[in-house]
Structure 1
Amino acid sequence: MEKLLVIEDNGDTCKELKWSIGKEYDLMFAGDVKEALALFYRYCPRVIILDLGLPPDERGTSEGFRCLEQVLAHAPATKTIVMGDNGDRSSAFRAMRTGAFDFCRKPIRMSELSVIIDRAFHLIDMEEENALLQTTPELKGCGFKGMLGHCPQMVQVFSTIEKVASSDIAIFVTGESGTGKELVAKAIHSMSLRRNGPFVPVNCGAIPENLLESELFGTERGAFTGAHARILGKAEYAHRGTFFLDEIGELPANLQVKLLRFLQEKVLQRVGGREDIAVDARIISATNIDIAKAITEGLFREDLYYRISVITVNLPPLRERGDDILLLANIFLKRAARDFGKKIRGYSASTLKLLKSYNWPGNVRELENRVQRAVLMSDSSLIEPVDLGIGESSQAQIMTPLDSMTLKDARDRLERQMIVSALGRQEGNIAKTAEALGVSRPTLYDLMKKYNLSRITS
C-alpha cells in the first residue's frame, strides 16, 4: 500500500482523512514540522498532504511554508498537496510558486482531494518511469505515457492513442483483466485538451447495484431515508475533464438507459431530483467481457455500445506480447528492488524461461505482483523460479492442451507434474522424494534440472 504523509494538527481533519482514504493508502500523521520531517526522512513518501497552519503558528503560514521548503529541498520530486483556508489566494499562489503540486481549500471536499491525490501518484509514477527509461539503455524507446512495450500490438495501441487524444470522441478500451485499460484512459486524458481538468474513474463492477446510480449521478437531499445532504455524483466531478467508466459491461440495464441519455444530451438528473444538470465530460469506457456476446444475449444495449465505441482500442494479453514480458519483468524488478531496499541483479536462466512460458492469466497486473513477491522472498542476487510463487496449481497455465501435444510432450508433462507433486508432499526432501518416485537421487536431480524445478515448490 502506498505511503501518504499527512501533516495536520487538527484532529477532526485527521479523522476525516483516515475514514475517507485510510483503506486506500498507508497514512502517516504528523502534527508539527519536527515530527513531519522525521517521518519524511525515514519513510520518503512520494506524496504529502500539508496544512499551512501548523503550531506554533496555527493562524499563520510560516511553519507550513518552512516544512514545504525543506521537503522540496530534500526531495524535489515529492508531490505536496497544500491545504489552506478558503479564500487565502495569496498563500495558494505562493505555495504553487514554491513547488507545491496543488492547493486544496478548507473545509476540504474529500471527493475533490481524492482526485488530486490520484493525479499526484499518477504523475510521479510517470516521472519515475521516464527517468528510468532515460537511464536504462535497454528500455529507451519502449515507454509511452507510463506504459511500456515494443511489440507490434502495443506500438499500434500507442499510435491510436496519439491520434485520438486531442479529439473529444468516445473511446472504448477492451482487453482481459490486468492488461492496463485504465493506463490507456489516463494516457488519453493526459494528452487531451482536457488534461488540466479532472480524471474521474469509476468501476461499474465494484459498486453494489443499489448504490451505483447515486455514485454515478449523485443524490438530492431527502431522496431516500438517510439522504441528509446533496451529494454530487462522479459524472458531475468529471465536468470539463474525463469520465472513465471501467467494466461498463457490468452496468445494469436500467442504468444503461440513463447513461445513454446522459451521453446523448450531456445532461443528468440526480437521484431524487428533477432538474437537468449540464455536464461537459469526455467519456472513455472499458470492459474485459465479450461485448458482442453480451449484446446478442440482451445483456448490453446495442445503441449504448455504438455511442461509447466511436474508436476502439484493443489491448493484447501479456502472453501474446513476446519479449515485452521480459521488458516489463525487468522494470518491475528495478522498481521493487528500489522500494524494498533489496540488491537484486536480475533473473536466473531458468526464471527467464519460466517468465516466457507461463500463460499469465492475470496479465501485467499478475506479473507485477509476482515480481514484487519474488523480490521480497529472494535471499540471493538472482530471482529463482520458486521466488515467483508459481506453484503446482499455476503450472497448468504453462502447459499446452493435450490434443495439440506429441506423445513425448505428454510424457514429459506427466513426469514433471509427478515430480512437483512429490516434492510438495515431501517438503522438498530429495531423498524421500526419490524414494516415493522410485528413482535414485542422481536421477531425480537430473530430472529436476531438466524441468527447471527447485527443492521447494509453492
Structure 2
Amino acid sequence: MISPATPSSAAPTILVVDDEASIVDALGKVLQKEGMTVLPAGNGREALDLVRTRPVDVAITDLRMPGMGGDDLLKAIKAITPEVEVIVMTAYGTVETAVEAMKRGAYDFISKPLKRASVVATVRKALDKAALLAENRDLRARLEAATTREIVGNSQVMRATLEIARQAANSTATVLLLGESGTGKELLARYIHRHSPRDRQAFVPVNCAALPESILESELFGHEKGAFTGAVRSREGRFLEADKGTLFLDEIAEITQTVQVKLLRALQEGEIEPVGGRTTKVDFRLVCATNRDLTEEVKTGNFREDLFYRINVIPIRIPPLRDRLEDVPLLGEHFLRMYAAKHGKAVDGFTDEALHLMGNYGWPGNVRELENAVERAVVLCRGPQVGADDLPPELRDPSAGHGRQVTFSVGTPLEEVERRMILETLKFTRGDKRLAADLLGIATRTIYRKLESGFISEESFRSAPARSGDEPQPDKGGDGVLH
C-alpha cells in the first residue's frame, strides 16, 4: 500500500479513493510513474480530511463504497473546493450511474477493470482543464486588480471623506457625491459599491452629460420595439442592468425635466417605465454625482426640488486636490509606478525639486491633471528619476499655463467669439470637457452639443499643443482617480 506523499510544488496532486486497497495501490503506482503526487484514501471520510488539509488538483473516486459513497463524496468535494476536478470509477454495466455523476459535477468516468492508458489520458485531460480554469481565475483577478483602482491618500480631510463613504456603503440610502471635475467622483462611487452588501452585483456607471437628450431616457429606462423611429428591437435600460446592484448617475444636473420625473418615480416606487412599455419593478441602489451647485439649479428651475431632496440623503463632498496637497507625493508615487510599468520605463521616483514643484502647485484639474502630468513626465524622463524639467511647463512657471489670453477684434461675430473661447479652453484643459465647462461656467452638455453639431471639431483641439508647449493628452473619460 502506498503512503501519502509530500506534495511537490511542481507535481500535480491526485487524490485516489477506493475501499479496495489493491485498486488504490495500483492507481498510485501508475500515477507516480507519470510524475504525479498521490494521496491515497480508503473511504469518503478519510478523503474529505485530505481535501480539507492538503491541496488537491484531481480526485479519482469509486462510486460504490460503504459509508459515504462516491456520489456523496463528489458533492462534498465540490462544496469544499469547487476547483477540484473529480473523476469517478465505475464497474462494467453501471455507466448510467457515472453519467448521472457527471451531471452533478464530475469531470469524467473510467470503467473497471482499469486500463493504464485510459486512466493516464483522463487524468491529464482533467489536469489541463483544472489548469485552464486556474489561469482564467488568475486573469480575472488581474483584470479586477487593474480596473479596481485603490484610493490613495492620508490627509485628514481625505480620511474623513472615506469614513463617511464607508458608513454610507452599508446602507441602501442614496448618496450624492459633490466636487470639482477631476476629483474622482466615479472612483468613490465604485468604492461605496465595493464596500456595500451589493458588491457581488453589477456597478453600472452612466455619464448623463455624454448622452444626447434624445436617447437619454431610452438609455436609462429602456424601450420596447417600435416605441420610436429606429427602435427595431426592445432594449433593457441601465436601471435593469443595475438590478440588485448599484446605478451611478454622473453629471446628474444634466438630465432633462422628463427624465427627472421618471427618476423620481423610480426612487419613490421602485419601478421604472420603459419607453413604450409597462412599468417594471427594479431593485437598485443609486449613487449620483455633480460638480454643480444643485441648490442653485433648483432656484433657477433647472432641477426639481422634490428630486433634489430624494437624492440628497447622504451628501459627500470630495475635497479638491489643492485642499490636500500633502497627498500629492503619495499620489505621484502611485501614478509613477503605474505608468512606469505601462510604458516599460525604468523610473523609480522623483527628484526633490520635482516633488517641491508638485507640492506647491494648485492643480486646477485636480487628481486627473496630476495623473496626466505624471504620465507625461514618465514618458519623457530619460533618467532613473523624474526631474523638474520632465514636468509640464505650468508647474515650473505657473503663468505659462494660466496666463494664456484670447483676444478678438472689435466686430468679431458673437458666434465666433463663443467658438474660439470654447476651443481655446478645451486646448487648455487638454480635451477635458468637464473642466472646460467649469472654467467657462456652462453646462458640460453644452460642449457635447457643440461637438455633435460640428460647431467645434475634436481635431481642432486634439491636434494643437496644449498649455504652452505641452503635448495634447487624451481625455481619459470617467472622473479620474480619487486616491
Conserved in 1, the CA contact under 8 Å of 2:393 and 2:401?
no
CA distance in 1, matches of 2:184, 2:157: 13
CA distance in 2, matches of 1:282, 1:265: 13
Corresponding position of 1:396: 399
1:234-383 aligned within 5 A: 234-273=238-277, 275-383=278-386
Matched, 1:98 2:134: yes
CA distance in 2, matches of 1:169, 1:96: 41
Encode CA deviations 1:408-451: one digit per residue, 9 max, x unaligned.
Answer: xxxxxxxxxxxxxxxxxxxxxxxxxxxxxxxxxxxxxxxxxxxx
Encode CA deviations 1:89-135: one digit per residue, 9 max, x unaligned.
Answer: 969997996363499xxxxxxxxxxxxx9x97454444xx7xxxxxx
Q: TM-score, normalization: structure 1?
A: 0.57
Aligned length: 284
CA distance in 2, matches of 1:176, 1:345: 31
Q: CA deviation at 1:392?
A: 8.9
- Bigger RCO (CA 8 Å, 6+ sep): 2
Partner letter of residue 313 of structure 1?
A: I
Corresponding position of 1:163: 167
5+ residue gaps, structure 1, are 1-68, 70-87, 104-116, 130-145, 401-455
Distance 1:457 1:203, change over 3 A: closer
Matched, 1:184 2:188: yes
Q: TM-score, normalization: structure 2?
A: 0.54
CA distance in 2, matches of 1:348, 1:195: 40
Distance 1:397 1:309, change over 3 A: farther
Identity %: 42
Task: State the SS of the aligned residue for 2:289.
Answer: strand
Task: State the SS of the aligned residue for 1:182.
Answer: helix
Q: CA deviation at 1:388?
A: 2.3
CA distance in 1, matches of 2:308, 2:131: 45
Q: CA deviation at 1:341?
A: 1.5
Distance 1:102 1:238, change over 3 A: farther
Partner letter of residue 327 of structure 1?
A: L
CA distance in 2, matches of 1:121, 1:398: 36
Aligned match for 1:225, one of 225, 229, 232: 229
5+ residue gaps, structure 2, are 1-82, 84-102, 108-128, 404-467, 471-483
Q: Which one has a bigger Cα radius of gyration?
A: 2
Task: State the SS of the aligned residue for 1:256.
Answer: helix
Task: State the SS of the aligned residue for 1:205.
Answer: helix
CA distance in 2, matches of 1:94, 1:268: 43
Corresponding position of 1:446: none
Partner letter of residue 218 of structure 2?
A: S
Corresponding position of 2:28: none
Task: State the SS of the aligned residue for 2:265.
Answer: helix
Distance 1:89 1:240, change over 3 A: farther
Conserved in 2, the CA contact under 8 Å of 1:358 and 1:397?
no
Task: State the SS of the aligned residue for 1:312.
Answer: strand
Q: CA deviation at 1:378?
A: 1.1
Partner letter of residue 261 of structure 2?
A: V
